[in-house]
Amino acid sequence: MAADKFKKEIEKRRTFAIISHPDAGKTTLTEKFLLYGGAINLAGSVKGKATARHAVSDWMEIEKERGISVTSSVLQFNYGGFCINILDTPGHQDFSEDTYRTLMAADSAVMVIDAAKGVEPQTRKLFKVCAMRKIPIFTFMNKLDRDARDPFELLDDIENELGIPTCPMNWPIGSGRDFKGVYDRQRELIVLYSDTQKGTKEGHTEEIPLDDKDKLLKALGQDSFDKLMEDVELLDGAGSTFDQDEVDAGMLSPVFFGSALTNFGVELFLQNFLKMTSSPLARNSETGLVDPVSNEFSAFVFKIQANMNKAHRDRIAFMRICSGKFDAGMEVLHVQGEKVLRLSQPQQMMASERHIVEEAYAGDIIGVFDPGIFSIGDTVCAPNVRFVYEGIPTFAPEHFARVRQVDTMKRKQFVKGITQIAQEGAIQIFREFNTGLEEIIVGVVGVLQFEVLKYRLENEYNVEIRMDNLPYEHIRWIANKDIDLDKLTGTSDMKKVRDLKDRPLLLFINSWSIGMTLERNEGLELEEFSKN
């Protein structure tokens, strides 16, 4: 393939995640994006609360039952010459670990905020991960068609709560019943609000230049007009000025106001966002940065999902391609497994359907059939290059329970099921030091994951389990190599365990015990999370 075309394919890629607190409008915004890309016909039709809610991205039955999105999904569509990959992240606080990992595969993030509420707890958590990765963060201030908080206050909220300066790219004129539209600061014109566009993209928008005062006054009415003029003056002093370098470095968040539900300000946002984000970024490996346009194929596994299709009992490993081009049928090296193999049934999600991919480029996400060989964080690359991408951190679980199967005859299924679910990263499993898998301790980041575990073991593996909560709240991996765990003296409430990869670690009920244990064992090094 001509080098030029290859480069162009990568340059038109935009891979981002959408983050928000539940109910801020992430799903609605995603659906409107898909609508612009022509991936679905009528955005509103893919979602109808109880039955088909989240129909575009939901796979698991539990999601349908509960009406929440448990797993992150990936959608690809084309718009305006760009090839867009959206990583959907579940907003529910109990699924944060999966969400964190998904953010590792994104080059930028769109943060959706409910303008009536401002920054909420889940936004804060997710933002932290984005900030850790220093990726660009764009803000969509949603639901202006409803009564909203004062826009200046909302910007202050982001700056104070999240610690990132903001730059309003447009500015709302009123909200709720009095919502009149937005002022586009770059083009210096007013885009009038009309909710006739609800669910479709055909709506007609009227634009009035800021200096056409007569026309503006007529369109807005005296009160809104006066308020706008006042705001425009104040605006120059509010927020920071736009600086692309700062946006790139994740140190300035451009803010757009709009209403996803009535499809107002969405296309404007999408167009500007695409201009301000970059094509796939170089990624850090243990041997330095890997350039996406370098010709060799490489990718890393950021998510594993079993039993997406009950009929097939399949297990899919999701990979983010970081460099080069993937061709179906090509041979690749699975670095951690030290094996050259062909990726089987590579697929991508296109709106509601999965389809087999023939080729994919840096920035794209592909799902491949996984016969049980991949782990989260693994690197796959062209056989003639060998390197490992930086690991994805394992987040410390905060809740623990001892888990047993009710029917002892089902031991085998139980161990198989719980191990597979742990390999996916949905839960972490530990066994007590000096024992086998008779007793399994499960650690999760959010308690709802316990329920997911129970549900999945019953439905996918036909195993009923009993869970007893354990009082541990702190977990520490032992960093010292060659430690003799038998000789380690801790506190009476401390538990010595091993994880799935046989790494030794300690569970504690309180932080005081951690201090005591460190004091009693000179040279002991404890880590709060472990790199893969």
Which residues here bind ligand G4P, judged by CB under 6 A? 20, 22-28, 47, 49, 91, 142-143, 145-146, 259-261
Shortest distance, position 364 Cβ to ligand G4P, whole Å: 24
Greatest pairwise CA separation for the chain in angstroms? 84
Task: Specify whether the CB–CB gap between 244 and 199 falls below 8 A.
Answer: no
Shortest distance, position 69 Cβ to ligand G4P, whole Å: 7
Number of alpha helices (DSSP H) and beta strands (DSSP E) in the chain: 14, 31
CA distance 152 to 80: 32
Complex with ligand G4P: residue 262 or 428, whichever CB lies closer: 262
Length of the chain: 532
Complex with ligand G4P: residue 60 or 317, whichever CB lies closer: 60
Exposed (0-12), middle (13-18) or buried (19+): which is 149, by Cβ within 10 Å?
A: middle
For residue 192, give every residue at least 6 positions away whose Cβ sits within 8 Å of its Cβ, in sequence order, or none: 180, 181, 205, 206, 207, 208, 219
Complex with ligand G4P: residue 143 or 325, whichever CB lies closer: 143
Shortest distance, position 144 Cβ to ligand G4P, whole Å: 7
Shortest distance, position 261 Cβ to ligand G4P, whole Å: 3
Instruction: Provide the CA 42 distance to its chain's centre, in angstroms.
Output: 25
Complex with ligand G4P: residue 258 or 490, whichever CB lies closer: 258
CA distance 507 to 497: 7
Shortest distance, position 309 Cβ to ligand G4P, whole Å: 24
Shortest distance, position 445 Cβ to ligand G4P, whole Å: 19
Tell me the C-alpha to C-alpha distance, in Å, between residue 145 and each of 69, 119, 230, 259.
25, 18, 21, 6
Complex with ligand G4P: residue 49 or 312, whichever CB lies closer: 49
CA atoms within 13 A on the CB side of 503: 19
Task: Specify whether the CB–CB gap between 156 and 140 falls below 8 A.
Answer: no
Complex with ligand G4P: residue 48 or 371, whichever CB lies closer: 48
- Coil, strand or helix: which one is 397? coil
Complex with ligand G4P: residue 49 or 481, whichever CB lies closer: 49
Task: Specify whether the CB–CB gap between 70 and 62 falls below 8 A.
Answer: yes
Task: Specify whether the CB–CB gap between 90 and 72 falls below 8 A.
Answer: yes
Complex with ligand G4P: residue 77 or 374, whichever CB lies closer: 77
Selection from 120, 119, 114 nearest residue 260 by Cα: 114
CA distance 226 to 211: 14
Shortest distance, position 20 Cβ to ligand G4P, whole Å: 5
Shortest distance, position 130 Cβ to ligand G4P, whole Å: 16
Residue type, 336: Q
Complex with ligand G4P: residue 256 or 297, whichever CB lies closer: 256
Shortest distance, position 179 Cβ to ligand G4P, whole Å: 10
Shortest distance, position 54 Cβ to ligand G4P, whole Å: 7
Q: Is the dihedral of CA 159, 162, 168, 173 positive or negative?
A: negative
For residue 162, give every residue at least 6 positions away whose Cβ sits within 8 Å of its Cβ, in sequence order, or none: 119, 123, 124, 127, 131
CA distance 516 to 495: 14
Degrees to nearest 5, angle at CA 57 with 263 and 121? 75
Shortest distance, position 149 Cβ to ligand G4P, whole Å: 14
Shortest distance, position 145 Cβ to ligand G4P, whole Å: 5
CA distance 292 to 456: 38
Complex with ligand G4P: residue 259 or 423, whichever CB lies closer: 259
Complex with ligand G4P: residue 143 or 334, whichever CB lies closer: 143
Complex with ligand G4P: residue 47 or 117, whichever CB lies closer: 47
